[in-house]
Amino acid sequence: MLHAIVHPADIQDRDGGVLLLATLFGMYPFLKKLFADGGYQGPEFQKALARILPQLKTEIVKRSDQAKGFVVLPRRWVVERTFAWLNRCRRLAKDWENLNRKALAFLRLASIRLMLRKLCNPT
């Protein structure tokens, strides 16, 4: 996990994505491509992204119209797999936290735990 922001539920994903990317501006200048799902398509997100990170190319991962049932989408499975790994932590399985900063702290702890397991138990 490079960066995370926990915000209230009344902030739409697109707006939260712009907020997240705005805080990444100086931290990771080597980022070249952003993979996003269909919730991030639209001119508002593209304009905000071009203003904040002009060198970052965006690719929207869409589901095919011909697909029936469950279909693995390219690059989308990476995010979904990571969410599944993080949700193995009991504290993150439900929204127990009253404060956003506490939720972010437990998300970071879970991410550190996940990374340590990957580093210490290579397969």
In a domain, residue 54? The reply is yes
Q: How many structural domains does the chain have? A: 1
- The predicted structure's pLDDT at residue 61: 80
Q: Flag whether 64 is in a domain.
A: yes
Is residue 1 situated within a structural domain?
no
- Yes or no: say if 60 and 36 are a contact pair by the CB < 8 Å rule: yes
Q: Identify the CATH number of the domain in which residue 62 sits.
A: 3.30.420
Dihedral sign from CA coordinates of 15, 47, 38, 106: negative
Per-residue pLDDT of 37-95, as tens digits, reads: 888 888 888 998 888 888 888 888 877 777 777 777 777 777 778 878 888 887 777 77
Per-residue pLDDT, averaged over 11-28, amounts to: 84
Q: Is residue 116 part of a domain?
A: yes
- pLDDT at 97 > cutoff 70: yes
pLDDT value of residue 84: 82
Does a structural domain hold residue 22? yes
Amino acid (one-letter) located at 1: M
Residue 36, pLDDT score: 84
Domain membership flag for residue 7: no
Residue-number span of the structural domain to which 69 is assigned: 13-120
pLDDT at position 123, please? 67
- 30 located within any domain: yes
For residues 61 and 35, the answer to whether their CB atoms sit within 8 Å is: yes
DSSP string, 24-57: TTTT-TT--EEEEEGGG-SHHHHHHHHHH-TT-E
Answer for the pair 41, 12: CB distance below 8 angstroms, yes or no. no
Q: How many helices (H) and strands (E) does the chain have?
A: 5, 2
% of the chain surpassing 70 pLDDT: 96
Phi-psi region of 22 (alpha: psi -120 to 50; beta: other; left: phi over 0): alpha
